[in-house]
Amino acid sequence: MTESVTRCGFVAIIGAPNAGKSTLVNQLVGTKVSIVTQKVQTTRFPVRGIALHDDCQMILVDTPGIFKPRRRLDRAMVKSAWSGAEDADCIVLLVDAAAQLAVKHPTGDTKATGADHKAVEDVDMIVKGLQDNNAKAILALNKIDLMKSENLLAIADDLYKTGVFEDVLMISAEKGHGVKDLRALLEKKMPEGPWLYPADQAADAPVRILAAEITREKLFLRVHEELPYAAAVVTTKFEDKPDGSARIEQTIFVERDSQRSIVLGKNGQTLKWIGMKSREELGKLLDRQVHLFLHVQVEEKWSEDRALYAQFGLEYES
């Protein structure tokens, strides 16, 4: 009796901020491994989700969005995204099809926003980067549920002409449409080899980091209108209790006192809501009771802290 051949490889999911990368990774894995909010640039370090199907294991690198960097943190995020792509066996460029349509093929019922123009500029920059590195990728046009099918062909044709795409797929990461086809295509491109992770493992990010990301997601979900990208969450303590529960302490860093007030909310109600929602999800993730304690600290230059970069797996550039 011959043993079945196993496949294992790395897939980099790249794209402009808010293209839907985290949602796609979560769909491919079948469980939540990367945070999803209505804020762009929410993924600050590559989260490896692990997707299993039959004899194939795919390690999905959910990279930060690639955009024109301004701050040191921005540069570290973009560098991390390109590094994830260079090290992968296969690259998927996820593109917001609705933004492409609004900017490049406007119709009577579409009007391009500033965010749409920025998304298109970022995609053009990414395509140029792929061309410069002689890299090939799979083009996945996302958010097709928001537009008519006849409009997709023109968008696909525009991007395919750039010469960097081996395949083109139409998907809706949120609805799951076309995700099975993408998974099947990726499986075929994975090299033969032994699995790198146990079959029951969904991600290789340390639990401390995943816990911090869950809390950061709840933070942005609650105060996405008031709070800019000026906050970070760090798990400062993770303790296994004798009764099987976990005690987790986290610090939310903000840059100004006014932002601290926003996170706390009136009579501490905003922070209480964030803690409650994060505790609920952490309990499900860890499959045990979680005692979560949140602290809010003003640190004007938290984004310059080398220790935070190390936690997120980012490179600190002087």
CB atoms within 10 A of CB 185: 16
User: Residue 303: pLDDT band by 50, 70, 90 thresholds?
Assistant: low
Say which CATH architecture domain 207-312 belongs to: 2-Layer Sandwich (3.30)
pLDDT digits (tens, 9 = 90+) for 239-288: 878 888 888 898 888 888 888 898 999 999 999 999 999 999 888 777 78
- Give the pLDDT score at 142: 92
pLDDT digits (tens, 9 = 90+) for 113-166: 888 888 888 888 888 888 877 888 899 999 888 777 777 888 899 999 999 999
Write down the CATH superfamily of domain 7-189.
Answer: P-loop containing nucleotide triphosphate hydrolases (3.40.50.300)
Could you write out the DSSP letters of every residue in 3-67?
PPPPEEEEEEEEESTTSSHHHHHHHHHTS--S---SSSS---S-EEEEEEETTEEEEEEEPPPP-
Q: What is the DSSP letter of 225?
A: T
Cα dihedral 155→158→159→162 (10° resolution): 180
Does residue 80 surpass a pLDDT of 80? no
Query: What percent of the chain shows pLDDT beyond 90?
Result: 19
User: Residue 17: pLDDT band by 50, 70, 90 thresholds?
Assistant: confident
What stretch(es) of the chain map to CATH 3.30.300.20? 207-312
Q: Count H helices, E strands: the chain?
A: 10, 9
Does residue 184 surpass a pLDDT of 90? yes
Helix (H) or strand (E) holding 139: strand 137-142
**Alpha-carbon span 248 to 279, nearest angstrom:** 9
Tell me which amino acid residue 239 is: E
> What are the start-end ranges of the H helices in 162-253?
179-189, 207-223
Does residue 179 surpass a pLDDT of 90? yes
Tell me which amino acid residue 45 is: F
pLDDT (average), residues 213-238: 77
pLDDT (average), residues 80-93: 69
Higher pLDDT, 312 or 59: 59
3-state secondary structure 103-136: HHCCCCCCCCCHHHHHHHHHHHHHHHHHHHCCCC
Cβ neighbours for 93, distance < 8 A, ≥ 6 positions apart: 14, 15, 123, 126, 127, 130, 137, 138, 139, 140, 165
